[in-house]
Amino acid sequence: MPFLASIVLVGISLYIRLRLQESPLFASMKAAGRTSTAPIAESFGSWSKWQTVLTVLWGAAAGQAVVWYCGQFYTLFWLQNSNQEVGADGTIANLGNVPAIDANIIIAVALLLATPFFIVFGALSDRIGRKPVMMAGNLIAAVTTIPIFSLMWGFTPAGGNYQPVVLVLLVFVLVFYVTMVYGPIAAFLVESFPARVRYTSVSLPYHVGNGYFGGFLPLIAGVVFAAALQNPGAFPIDPRYAGLLYPTAVAAISFVVGMWLVPETRQNPIAAVAHEPTQRRANPVVLTVLIGLTLLALVLADRYITPALNRPEFNVQWFFRILALAIVVAVLLSILIRRAQPEVRPHPAD
C-alpha cells in the first residue's frame, strides 16, 4: 500500500517539474550559443577533469552517501532485525529485535526532528563555507557512529532494556550528522563545476557516491557482519557492529581526502566559473592516490561483494568486471577524443 500511495507523490512531483524553468544563467548561455556541444568529452576528456571528479567523489560525495544511508536506512534494518546469528565459535549475535512498526516510528520521528537542520547547516555553510560543515560531519560520524550503535543496542529488546524514546534521541543524532554532510552538498557540487557542463560533471561523483557507496551499504555491511561471525577475533569490535566499519571507514577517507584536496567553493562566482573554467594540470601524486582508492574499491567489491550476489542464472561478478572494463575503455576513449578535438574556449563573461 505505501508504494501504491506514492503514485500521488509521483504525480505531484511531475506537476512541479513540468512547471520548472531553466536557471537564468543557463538560459542566457543557451540563447548566446555558449552551451557545450560535447559535454561528456568536456567533462571527462582530460586527466585534470578526472582529478576534479574523483576529488569530489572521494572528498565529499562518498562520505555524504555513507553517513546518509547509515543514519536513515541501515539503522532501520539494524533496529528491526530479529535474527539470531551464530558465529563459527558458537557466539550468538543478535541485533536490535525492535518490532517493525516501532522501528519505523522511531526513524520517522527522528527524521521529523532532524529535518530543520538541513536548512540550518545549509545556511551555516553560506556563512562559514561548505567545506568545514561537511568535513565536520564526516569526522564526527566516523568517530561516534559505532559508539552510538553500541548505546542503541542497550536500549533495544535484544539489549534487555527497551526504551523507544531513547532510541529516537540516538537515531536523531545519527540523522543530525546526515544534515551536516547533506545540507551543503548541493551548493558545493554546483560551485565545483562550470555551467557549460555542470549537470554532466556532477552526475558521476554524486550518483556513484550515492548509488554505489550508499546504495550498497546494507549489502556491504551484511557481508562484513557475516565475515565477523565466521572469523571470531579477526575484527576489532563486536560482530553486531562490524558492518559499521564500512561507513565509518569511508567517512574517515572522505574527511582526509576532503581536508587535503577539496577546495572551499563558497566564494566561487557562478557566472565566472561558467565562463572562465580553470585549466589546471593534473597533479600526478594526487591523481595516483585518487585512482588507487578507486581501484581498491573496485577490487574489494569484486572480491567480497559481487560473489554474494551471484545466482545460477546470472554471474554478477563477471557482469561487474565487464562493466568496470567498459568504464575504463570509455574514459580512455573520451580522453583521446578530447585531445583530438580543437580546444573550445568559453566566451569571456559579459
For residue range 24-51, list pLDDT tens digits in order.
888 888 888 877 888 888 888 788 888 9
Task: With respect to residue 242, please indicate whether it lies within any of the assigned structural domains.
Answer: yes
For residue range 223-259, list pLDDT tens digits in order.
888 888 888 777 888 888 999 999 999 999 999 999 9
Task: With respect to residue 15, please indicate whether it lies within any of the assigned structural domains.
Answer: no
Task: With respect to residue 90, please indicate whether it lies within any of the assigned structural domains.
Answer: yes
pLDDT over 80 at 268, yes or no: yes
- The average pLDDT across 207-220 equals 91
For residue range 97-106, list pLDDT tens digits in order.
899 999 999 9
Task: With respect to residue 123, please indicate whether it lies within any of the assigned structural domains.
Answer: yes
Distances (CA, A) of 340 to 41, 197, 210, 279, 282: 11, 19, 33, 17, 19
Task: With respect to residue 251, please indicate whether it lies within any of the assigned structural domains.
Answer: yes
Q: What percent of the chain has pLDDT over 90?
A: 46
Task: With respect to residue 74, please indicate whether it lies within any of the assigned structural domains.
Answer: yes
pLDDT over 60 at 344, yes or no: no
Supply 100's cell numbers: 517493525
Burial of 59 (0-12, 13-18, 19+ CB in 10 A): buried
Distance CA 134, CA 142 (A): 12
State the CATH number of the domain containing residue 114.
1.20.1250.20
Query: Which has the higher per-residue pLDDT, 148 or 159?
Result: 148
Task: With respect to residue 176, please indicate whether it lies within any of the assigned structural domains.
Answer: yes
Number of independent structural domains in the chain: 1
What is the phi/psi pair of residue 313, to 5°? -90, -5
Distances (CA, A) of 26 to 23, 29, 164, 199: 5, 5, 49, 11
Q: Return the top range by mean pLDDT from 19-23, 179-183, 279-283.
A: 179-183
Q: How many CB atoms lie within 10 A of CB 151?
A: 16
Whole-number pLDDT of residue 28: 83
With cut-offs at 50, 70 and 90, classify the pLDDT of residue 274.
very low
Task: With respect to residue 342, please indicate whether it lies within any of the assigned structural domains.
Answer: no
pLDDT over 70 at 115, yes or no: yes
- The average pLDDT across 95-118 equals 94
Amino acid at 286: V
Distance CA 210, CA 69 (A): 8
The residue range of the domain holding 83 is 56-281
pLDDT over 70 at 309, yes or no: yes
